[in-house]
Amino acid sequence: MAEPARSRRSFLRTLTLALVGGAGLWRFLTPARVPDARRVEVALADVPEGGALVLPETGVAVTRGADGEPEVLSLACTHLGCRVVANEDGFACPCHGSRFDRHGRVRTGPAKRPLARLAFARRDGTLRIEV
């Protein structure tokens, strides 16, 4: 049986759909962009014992370590850069299912590396964080 002739219109429609689908796939698979560097100040008294102070607008979470010392974690998942969310067990990536404990260590993948620790300076009960 002979193939029907393809029109120019059907070719352009197929090409457009392929380009739009490729752009959507590209957006889903590329990591999130890191915002421009800026300074965040947090009062150490605002960080709860056994919990986390999450600052979603800056992509930072401040927790206390086992020794009571503050830890500053990036909220960017180390798998593909999605923003993790805090839960009662630690942090979870809504994109691909990675789970991290409250210190940023990987509990389940696909992430292989812990959440990045950010440097901070402590002065007069205040943490200055460069994000």
Mean pLDDT score of the chain: 81
Give tens-digit pLDDT for 50-59.
Answer: 778 888 888 8
The β-bridge relationship of strands 60-64 and 52-55 is antiparallel
Distance CA(131)–CA(4), nearest Å, equals 59
Specify the pLDDT at position 40.
81
- Total tally of structural domains belonging to the chain: 1
CATH of residue 86's domain is 2.102.10.10
20, containing H or E segment: helix 8-29
Q: In this structure, is residue 10 part of a structural domain? A: no
The answer to whether 80 touches 96, Cβ cutoff 8 Å, is yes
Q: In this structure, is residue 50 part of a structural domain? A: yes
* pTM of the complete model beyond 0.75: no
Q: In this structure, is residue 80 part of a structural domain? A: yes
96 classed as catalytic: yes
Domain span including residue 111: 39-130
Task: Retrieve residue 131's tokens.
Answer: 């994000």
> Which one from 13, 96, 113, 128 is the annotated catalytic residue?
96
